[in-house]
């Protein structure tokens, strides 16, 4: 039985370091107060007056775009730099990162990444990413996607038990290789859902949402941020949450701690959980000097406690979840090698 505890609970210790950074006095726009935590000598004031390009791998107005722009003022305050968000959509969010890896690693080119999608593509040896995990410098995670499964509020599937007892269940997805496709495929495999399939061909998340409301598909698996509006409007029902405890907006959803799972199923769910922990990190190109990377890492930690950032995040209903770059590298990326063959097979079949 899978206990109601994430296999990565120990990551919470790393996530708490944002508070420690804030207590060092680095919360104002004084770049002299931001110093590298890598142990390398670095004068972080060199960023003062510089221009930093923050690449966003999707179109303006989406979740990644909003999140990136929320944290920009905090980075500017911490570094004394001008941070310019630039939307670079393409290749399922990979184009911007492919371009980033060819940039000069001087700290002036960074990006926010769909970590879950990028990691899945790398692990599946899929076409698209022109980089591997060693091709990036990890600044820190700014958010995670709290995954959830929602169904049509007026349909026949109002609980996860209804889904488990179904035949021919239909998940909706924007396409193979997308996060909603991967998560749906993992659930079908883990729970051996009879005759279940993933319906693709929707050009956008909005089209998938409409298909759910119209009954063309039975469920969507994706981030709570993307599902919240339809849940609160009463158009969809949250039936399953990947969180340790059901979130407030999906209080009646089943969590995995409530379920009996086989060892194979547990390994698949743990795989999705690990990918999700990668979340939405800020990265730079590989080869960045330790001191430069440390300045950016500490600046992000300070930014995540910046009152302006926190106010905007609350106003725009964006939940922040900070994890330092070195913790990402060691406890998330470093654990990808432990993923089960069964889960890797699910990833490969999703492309």
Q: Which two tokens stand for residue 347?
A: 């990833």
Do 93 and 117 form a contact (C-beta atoms < 8 A)?
Answer: yes
Q: What is the mean pLDDT of the chain?
A: 89
Q: Please state the rounded mean pLDDT for residues 226-231.
A: 89
How many C-beta neighbours within 10 Å does residue 340 have?
15
pLDDT tens column, 308-341: 999 999 999 899 999 999 999 999 999 999 999 9
Q: If 0-12 CB within 10 Å is exposed, 13-18 middle and 19+ buried, where does residue 28 land?
A: exposed
Do 221 and 187 form a contact (C-beta atoms < 8 A)?
Answer: yes
pLDDT tens column, 190-199: 999 999 999 9
Residue 11 has pLDDT above 80, yes or no: no
Task: Say which residues have a Cβ less than 8 Å from residue 41's Cβ, sequence separation at least 6.
Answer: 291
Please choose, from the candidates 106, 101, 56, the residue with its C-alpha nearest in 3D space to the C-alpha of residue 286: 101
pLDDT tens column, 165-223: 999 999 999 899 988 999 999 999 999 999 999 999 888 888 999 999 999 999 999 99
Query: How far apart are alpha carbons 200 and 321 in whole angstroms?
Result: 30
pLDDT tens column, 36-53: 655 555 789 999 999 999
Q: Which two tokens stand for residue 126?
A: 């899929």
3-class DSSP state of 82: strand
Q: Please state the rounded mean pLDDT for residues 103-118.
A: 96
| Predicted local distance difference test score (pLDDT) of residue 165 | 97
Q: How far is CA 274 from the centre of its chain?
A: 11
pLDDT tens column, 267-300: 999 999 999 999 999 999 999 999 999 999 999 9
Residue 21 has pLDDT above 50, yes or no: no
Please choose, from the candidates 321, 273, 322, 301, the residue with its C-alpha nearest in 3D space to the C-alpha of residue 119: 273
**Exposure class string for 112-149: b at 16+ Cβ within 10 A, else e:** bbbbbbbbbbbbbebebbebebebbbbbbbbbbbbbbb
Q: What is the DSSP string of 155-221?
A: SS--SHHHHHT-BS-EEE-S-TTSHHHHHHHHHHHHHT-BT-EEE---SSHHHHHHHHHHTSSSEEE
Do 186 and 343 form a contact (C-beta atoms < 8 A)?
Answer: yes
Query: How far apart are alpha carbons 152 and 92 in whole angstroms?
Result: 27
Do 296 and 343 form a contact (C-beta atoms < 8 A)?
Answer: no
- Express as a percent the part of the chain with pLDDT over 90: 77
- Domains, the chain, in order of start with CATH, read 11-145+279-349 (3.40.190.150), 147-274 (3.40.190.10)
Cα dist from 60 to 65, 113, 181, 306, whole Å: 6, 15, 23, 23
Residue 29 has pLDDT above 80, yes or no: no
Q: Which two tokens stand for residue 212?
A: 């759910």
Residue 17 has pLDDT above 50, yes or no: no
pLDDT tens column, 257-272: 899 899 999 999 999 9
| Predicted local distance difference test score (pLDDT) of residue 38 | 55
């Amino acid at each position: 039985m899978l206990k109601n505890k994430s296999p990565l609970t120990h990551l919470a210790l790393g996530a708490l370091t944002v508070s420690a950074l804030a207590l060092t006095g680095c919360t104002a726009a004084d770049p002299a107060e931001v110093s590298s935590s890598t142990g390398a000598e670095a004068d972080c004031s060199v960023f003062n007056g510089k221009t930093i390009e923050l690449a966003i791998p999707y179109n303006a107005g989406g979740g990644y775009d909003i999140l990136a722009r929320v944290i920009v003022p905090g980075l500017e305050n911490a570094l004394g730099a001008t941070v310019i968000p630039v939307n670079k959509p393409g290749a399922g969010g990979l184009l911007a990162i492919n371009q980033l890896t060819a940039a000069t690693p001087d700290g002036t080119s960074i990006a926010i990444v769909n970590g879950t999608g990028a990691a899945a593509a790398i692990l599946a040896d899929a076409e698209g990413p022109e980089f591997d995990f060693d091709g990036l410098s990890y600044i820190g995670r700014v958010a995670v996607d709290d995954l959830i499964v929602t169904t049509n509020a007026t349909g026949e599937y109002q609980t996860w038990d209804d889904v488990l007892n179904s035949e021919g269940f239909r998940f909706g997805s924007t396409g193979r290789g997308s996060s909603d496709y991967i998560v749906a495929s993992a659930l079908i495999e883990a729970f051996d859902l009879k005759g279940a399939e993933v319906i693709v061909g929707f050009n956008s998340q909005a089209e998938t949402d409409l298909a759910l409301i119209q009954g063309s598909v039975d469920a969507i698996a994706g981030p709570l941020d993307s599902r919240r509006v339809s849940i609160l409007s009463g158009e969809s029902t949250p039936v399953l949450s990947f969180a340790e405890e059901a979130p407030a907006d999906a209080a009646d959803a089943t969590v995995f701690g409530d379920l009996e799972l086989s060892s194979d199923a547990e390994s698949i769910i743990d795989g999705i959980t690990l990918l999700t922990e990668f979340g939405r990190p800020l990265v730079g190109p590989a080869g960045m000097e330790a001191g430069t990377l440390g300045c950016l890492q500490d600046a992000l930690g300070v930014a995540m406690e910046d009152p302006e950032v926190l106010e905007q995040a609350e106003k725009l209903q964006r939940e922040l979840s900070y994890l330092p770059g070195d913790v990402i590298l060691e406890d998330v990326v470093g654990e990808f090698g432990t993923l089960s063959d069964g889960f890797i097979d699910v990833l490969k079949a999703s492309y």
